[in-house]
Amino acid sequence: MKPPEPFTWFVDRSLGRKIVLDLRTAGFHVEEHADHFADNALDTEWLGEAGRRGWVVLTKDKAVRRNALELAAILTAEVACFSLGGGNLKSEQMAQAFITARRGMEKALRRFDPGMTASVTVTGHVRVLMAASQLLAQPRDIK
C-alpha cells in the first residue's frame, strides 16, 4: 500500500538532528528518529515501525537497502526508503539534496509501490532501484 498523503518523512539518525529543522522549514512533515526510538535501536525495529505507520524513510545509510535483515524489514513492512548517495556531506547539503529531490521523491511514491528503495544524489536526482518488493532490472530515473 502506498504511503498516505501528505507524506510523512522519517529522518533516520544517520542524518543527524539539524537536518530535521531544515526539512521542516522547507515544508516537510518530519518524524525524527530520536522522538520514537532509542539511539541504539536496531534498523530492523525502526524500519518495521516506519512501514506500519506509512512513513517515508530518509537515510544516508546505503547498507539499509543491502543488508539482508534490513532489506527483509523493508519488504515485510512495505517501506518506501530514499538513501542519500553522498555520505560525506554537511547537514545543510544533505537537507538541500532532499529538498531538491522532493518533487521526484513524491512522484516516485505515487508511481511505485513499496517495498521501494531509491537513491538521491547530492544534486537531488532520484533513481528507483526496487519497487513492489522487486529489484528493478533497469533502475528508473525520476524526472
Residue stretches of the chain with pLDDT short of 70: 65, 87
Residue 119 falls inside a structural domain? yes
- Which pLDDT belongs to residue 35? 96
Q: In the structure grid, which three cell numbers stand for residue 126, read together?
A: 532520484
Cβ neighbours, 10 Å, residue 68: 7
Residue 35 falls inside a structural domain? yes
- Which pLDDT belongs to residue 87? 62
- Which pLDDT belongs to residue 66? 75
The kind and range of the H/E element at 138 are strand 134-142
- Which pLDDT belongs to residue 8? 98
Residue 1 falls inside a structural domain? no
Q: How far is CA 47 from CA 13, 38, 50, 123, in A?
A: 12, 13, 5, 26
User: Into how many domains does the chain fold?
Assistant: 1
Enter the pTM of the model: 0.95
| Domain enclosing residue 51, as ranges | 8-142
Radius of gyration, CA atoms only, the chain: 13
- Which pLDDT belongs to residue 94? 95
Secondary structure of residue 4 in the 3-state scheme: coil
Residue 2 falls inside a structural domain? no
- Residue 48 sits in a domain whose CATH number is 3.40.50
Parallel, antiparallel, or unpaired for β 116-120 and 126-131? antiparallel
Distance CA 109, CA 88 (A): 26
